[in-house]
Structure 1
């Protein structure tokens, strides 16, 4: 079997026996990348292979269908630093949405805004002749609460009560209350930091939401949330298989969430009349397909995405080198360092 991977030194492919175990895969990756110790992530949300999976077959975990991310552990990062070309100047950085530092978030948001400048005025839409309607992109404000605002609009009318608008603030509180009510499920290992610290950060309006927040909102409202990655067109279905009756669709540019809506009057701008939920079965497959078509338009015509998975960065304060948003967020939160530069691919 062939297994693809990406590492700080670039991408590659391994040829392994079909019966190879996870331990054998890890050894092959270490040999190919030159690192003595690595963390290997797969799936969505990204999760790391663990020691207790060592004797499982790689195929049983579906790893032959994944593009694995290989990240050197802290004590192995020096090998990358020694072989990395000089960085001519600092560039935009990328962080984990749920745990990023405010300063780094602002840097990313500025980058995304410049790439998609004017996207809100482009009226991005795709005709759906099969239903005589139109799928439109509802662009969310650049205010660090785009995930909550995007989902909140899709929740409108789902419940009757005093807060039918489901504001970003109310959804932040809902997420925090759910985490506090389920301490066994949301431990420091899952959250990446102590639960109370995580909750305090999530209540701040300048903290991004991420995979954990989507999963909680999906569970609480019994709503499948389909997230389409603009860069790859991949559809991630949060809450799939739980028997939820309805689904909504979001568009993700790697640092920003927008909402997909269906309208039946051309040029309709009043969002209160949007259709934002559909049956979570094959009857709404055309919505997913048209939304993917829209994402291809966003990618090809507007370059409306930011790549946060393949980049390699270095800390200008201590010389640390790492790959991807999660590694950067962990380093920045652990050290307080924010002077980060991207190591550009020289193409050599």
Structure 2
């Protein structure tokens, strides 16, 4: 596939569908309304102009003067106006922007700040959330979409595991679980189609799930977008009591919705499910410790898929970049959902990335990390004891017991 950035947003094309310069320029025209004769094409990083005016329409995209391959990035704009340029106002440019298929503002070029592992935005509580249903191990040849489990999520394990990116409002504050390794933003990456599938490290600030999702669907992070995503979740919980009842949430929906607006409240499976539907994008979270892929929005007909990394109590984002330190605006943040029977090379690369991070122990063992109840100060160890304590006392706020 190739990713195309144009004045109306972004789009992607499979090379199996476009083979010649004529095919490419026709697809671009259909996407953004710029006719073939008025297209200025740039590729590479930094972008360089493609000299296509001397090429025949039937020139293959693999030709040395074009050299577009899987993973290429193409920037499209109008050619500089000249006295011979026809009137552009006669051409209608379709509005192709949508939450599902168009990029919004790109993140600033400066890399996202590195972090030490001191905050934890995904919760293993309450146990009522359970684990998403297991499906067959992932293969390079994708199977038909798995049936959706609770929250619209399905779990595809690489190895059996009881871990899951569970829900939100049981944990508030900044509990920490010590990791044996720290990873800087852009430090860990694996090759994919001549580019770098890269771990984009998100700060430990109790909103890492929201920042990671926003980075992938909006191209930006920060308090404002996290607030926006929290409001989306809160509104859906309140408006869909049958889909998100107390037995699922672990709280009365009104209480849960109010807590989700608190910047200190973590997000988990409920939030991934809601945001997947809202942005009409599959959200897949790869678990470092187990190799499990938690899938939200699969089988709902969404055209794009975004990848997160789940390390037990934290979420980061995964992006395909020309180089590991390249700005997000030059990268691929969402990928076309491959048709059944087409090799899922992104999944394979994600699994390679997870393997590298597991060897570096970039995860938290939620069965052994030390906690204490923030209300009665009872010391606890791991998810199981915290869950039992919550059931017995109704206390649901926990912090690290250092």
With normalisation by structure 1, the TM-score equals: 0.60
Q: Which residue of 1 aligns with 2:295?
A: 237
**Are the aligned partners of 1:98 and 1:208 in contact in 2 as well (CA < 8 Å)?**
yes
Q: Which residue of 1 aligns with 2:236?
A: 178
Residue 207 of structure 2 corresponds to residue 140 of structure 1: no
Q: Which residue of 1 aligns with 2:104?
A: none
CA 134–323 in structure 1, closer or farther in 2 if over 3 Å, else same? closer
CA 192–132 in structure 1, closer or farther in 2 if over 3 Å, else same? same
3-state SS in 1 of match to 2:263: coil
TM alignment of 1:117-132, pairs within 5 A: 117=182, 119-121=183-185, 123-128=187-192, 131-132=193-194
TM alignment of 1:42-191, pairs within 5 A: 43-44=131-132, 98-103=168-173, 106-108=174-176, 111-112=177-178, 115-117=180-182, 119-121=183-185, 123-128=187-192, 131-156=193-218, 167-191=225-249
Residue 390 of structure 2 corresponds to residue 335 of structure 1: no
Measure the CA separation in 2 of the matches of 1:318 and 1:300. Answer: 34
3-state SS in 2 of match to 1:107: coil
Counting matched residue pairs gives 247
Q: Which residue of 1 aligns with 2:56?
A: none
The structure 1 segments of at least 4 consecutive aligned residues displaced by more than 2 Å after TM superposition are 39-43, 65-69, 99-103, 114-117, 266-269, 309-326, 328-333, 335-342
Q: Which residue of 2 aligns with 1:293?
A: 352
CA 207–122 in structure 1, closer or farther in 2 if over 3 Å, else same? same
Q: Which residue of 2 aligns with 1:258?
A: 316
Q: Which residue of 2 aligns with 1:222?
A: 280
Deviations 1:150-187 (CA, angstroms, capped at 9, x unpaired): 111111279xxxx9x98111100011111111122211
**Are the aligned partners of 1:45 and 1:211 in contact in 2 as well (CA < 8 Å)?**
no
Q: CA RMSD in A?
A: 3.9
Measure the CA separation in 1 of the matches of 2:242 and 2:129. Answer: 24
**Are the aligned partners of 1:96 and 1:325 in contact in 2 as well (CA < 8 Å)?**
no
Measure the CA separation in 2 of the matches of 1:40 and 1:336. Answer: 13
CA 66–279 in structure 1, closer or farther in 2 if over 3 Å, else same? same
Q: Which has the larger radius of gyration?
A: 2
Tell me which of 273, 295, 313 is aligned to 2:330.
273
CA 311–332 in structure 1, closer or farther in 2 if over 3 Å, else same? farther
3-state SS in 2 of match to 1:207: coil
Measure the CA separation in 1 of the matches of 2:315 and 2:379. Answer: 32
CA 289–232 in structure 1, closer or farther in 2 if over 3 Å, else same? same
Give, in angstroms, the shift of residue 195 of structure 1: 1.0
Give, in angstroms, the shift of residue 285 of structure 1: 1.3
Give, in angstroms, the shift of residue 247 of structure 1: 0.5
Give, in angstroms, the shift of residue 268 of structure 1: 3.5
Structure 2: which 5+ runs fail to align?
1-126, 135-158
Measure the CA separation in 2 of the matches of 1:192 and 1:181. Answer: 17
CA 333–201 in structure 1, closer or farther in 2 if over 3 Å, else same? farther
Measure the CA separation in 2 of the matches of 1:151 and 1:269. Answer: 19
Give, in angstroms, the shift of residue 274 of structure 1: 2.0
Name the one with the larger helix percent: 1
Give, in angstroms, the shift of residue 42 of structure 1: 6.2
Measure the CA separation in 1 of the matches of 2:389 and 2:332. Answer: 36
Q: Which residue of 2 aligns with 1:26?
A: none
Q: Which residue of 1 aligns with 2:36?
A: none
With normalisation by structure 2, the TM-score equals: 0.53
